[in-house]
């Protein structure tokens, strides 16, 4: 059945979608701007209304408390939310220094006001915040869009390590075809409201 499965998933302008993410695999997701990539991620995270069914490890979404579903099926939006004054207030527990080091951040960043963060620092910290929930599925909406080459490589390594260690499934949205070829075992594309295997 796969780790995460959608059947007949439909929302305005997209679908119906049938798809399966297997344990430990990374799937690339591409398509023109406005095609529905973000809407698909939000539907898989059960954040937006949709038709059709979702299952996580064989359990229907209806049988899982919404907060538990969103912890296990973790969405990293392209623009992360920050609602308190300091960085550390956004973490239930401080990320270990090794995790901060993996994305070239000093533990002192947790004491910074959020307004001091660059867009790239926000992006990396939002990823750490997500990983600390130990999701079984990662839905990543252009997670390196604001990063330079070195930090892009750091994020790619961190996600790959997490995927291999935890057996997590990853759905990675990017417009960088070279990146998607580096990372993914399969490639899905959305065009004209349809999701299909790239090249199919």
d(Cα 195, Cα 137) in Å, to the nearest integer?
19
- Residue 200: per-residue pLDDT: 45
Output the six-digit token pair for 191. 């065009």
- Residue 199: per-residue pLDDT: 59
Collapsed DSSP state (helix, strand, coil) of residue 1: coil
* Mode of pairing for the β-strands spanning 194-197 and 186-191: antiparallel
d(Cα 56, Cα 34) in Å, to the nearest integer?
27
Phi-psi map region of 167: left, alpha, beta (phi>0 left; psi -120 to 50 alpha): left
d(Cα 141, Cα 33) in Å, to the nearest integer?
12
Which single residue is written with the structure tokens 């960085």?
A: 87
- Sheet with 4-11: strands ordered across: 14-21, 4-11, 51-56, 59-60
Which single residue is written with the structure tokens 């349809």?
A: 194
pLDDT tens digit string along 27-86? 999 999 888 999 999 999 999 989 999 999 999 999 999 999 999 999 999 999 999 999
d(Cα 99, Cα 106) in Å, to the nearest integer?
10
d(Cα 94, Cα 96) in Å, to the nearest integer?
6
pLDDT tens digit string along 81-121? 999 999 999 999 999 999 999 999 999 999 999 999 999 99
């Amino acid at each position: 059945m796969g780790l995460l499965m959608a059947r007949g998933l439909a929302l305005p302008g997209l679908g119906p979608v049938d798809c399966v993410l297997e344990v430990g695999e990374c799937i690339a997701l591409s398509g023109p701007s406005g095609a529905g990539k973000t809407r698909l991620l939000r539907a898989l995270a059960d954040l937006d209304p949709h038709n059709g069914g979702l299952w996580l490890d064989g359990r229907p979404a209806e049988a899982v408390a919404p907060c538990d579903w969103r912890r296990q099926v973790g969405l990293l939006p392209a623009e992360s939310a920050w609602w308190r004054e300091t960085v550390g207030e956004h973490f239930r527990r401080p990320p270990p220094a090794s995790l901060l080091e993996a994305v070239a951040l000093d533990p002192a960043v947790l004491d910074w006001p959020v307004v001091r963060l660059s867009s790239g620092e926000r992006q990396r910290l939002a990823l750490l915040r997500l990983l600390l929930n130990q999701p079984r599925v990662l839905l990543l909406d252009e997670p390196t869009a604001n990063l330079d080459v070195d930090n892009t490589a750091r994020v790619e390594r961190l996600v790959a390590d997490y995927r291999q260690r935890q057996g997590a499934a990853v759905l990675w949205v990017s417009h960088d075809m070279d990146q998607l070829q580096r990372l993914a075992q399969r490639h899905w594309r959305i065009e004209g409201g349809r999701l299909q295997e790239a090249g199919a």
